[in-house]
A and B are shown apart, each in its own frame.
Chain A
Amino acid sequence: MATNLMLAATDPAETYIRFKDVQKSYGAVSVLNGISLDVARGEVLVLCGPSGCGKSTLLRCINGLEAISSGTIAVGENRVDGASQEVLQRIRLSTGFVFQNFNLFPHMTALENITIAPRKILGLPQREATAEGMRLLEQVGMAEKANVYPFQLSGGQRQRVAIARALAMKPSLMLFDEPTSALDPEMREEVLQVIRQVHDEHNMTMIVVTHEIGFAKNVASRAMLLDAGRIVEEAPARIFFEQPTQERTRRFLRAISND
Chain B
Amino acid sequence: MDYKFQFGVLADYGPYLAGGLWHAWWTSLPSIVFTTILGVMLAAMGMSRKWFLRGFSVVFVDLFRTLPVVVLLIWIHYVMPILTGVSFSPTVSSIIALSLNGAALACEAFRGGLEAIPTTQVQAAQSLGFSRWQVMRYVTLPQAAFATLPSLTNVHITVIKNVTVTVLIAVPEVMFRAQELTVQFFRPLEFYTGAAALYVALIWGYALFMRSLERLQKWQPI
A residues adjacent to B (C-beta < 8 A): 63, 65, 85, 89, 92-93, 95-97, 99, 101, 103-108, 116-117, 120-121, 149-151, 158, 165-166, 169
Contact = CB atoms under 8 A, between A and B. Distances in A.
B126 A92 contact: yes
A162 to B, nearest CB: 8
B143 A107 contact: yes
Contacts, number: 67
Interface string B121-134: 10111111111001
Nearest to A117: B128
B128 A106 contact: no
A99 B220 contact: no
Most chain-A CB neighbours within 10 Å: which of B126, B142, B146, B218?
Answer: B126
A65 B119 CA distance: 11
Contacts of A63: 127
A117 B130 contact: yes
A121 B129 contact: yes
B219 interface: yes
- Interface residues of chain B: helix, strand, loop or mixed (majority): helix
Given A106-B219, A150-B222, A99 B124 contact: yes
Given A92-B128, A97-B127, A149-B219, A103 B138 contact: no
A65 B127 contact: yes
B143 A106 contact: yes
B139 interface: yes
Given A120-B134, A120-B138, A149-B218, A101 B120 contact: yes
A120 B139 CA distance: 12
A107 B127 contact: no
B48 to A, nearest CB: 14
B85 interface: no
A150 B129 CA distance: 21
A149 B131 CA distance: 24
Given A149-B220, A151-B221, A166-B128, 18 more contacts: A99-B120, A99-B124, A103-B121, A103-B123, A103-B124, A104-B222, A105-B124, A107-B142, A107-B143, A107-B146, A108-B219, A116-B138, A117-B128, A121-B134, A149-B218, A151-B219, A151-B220, A166-B127
Nearest to B132: A85
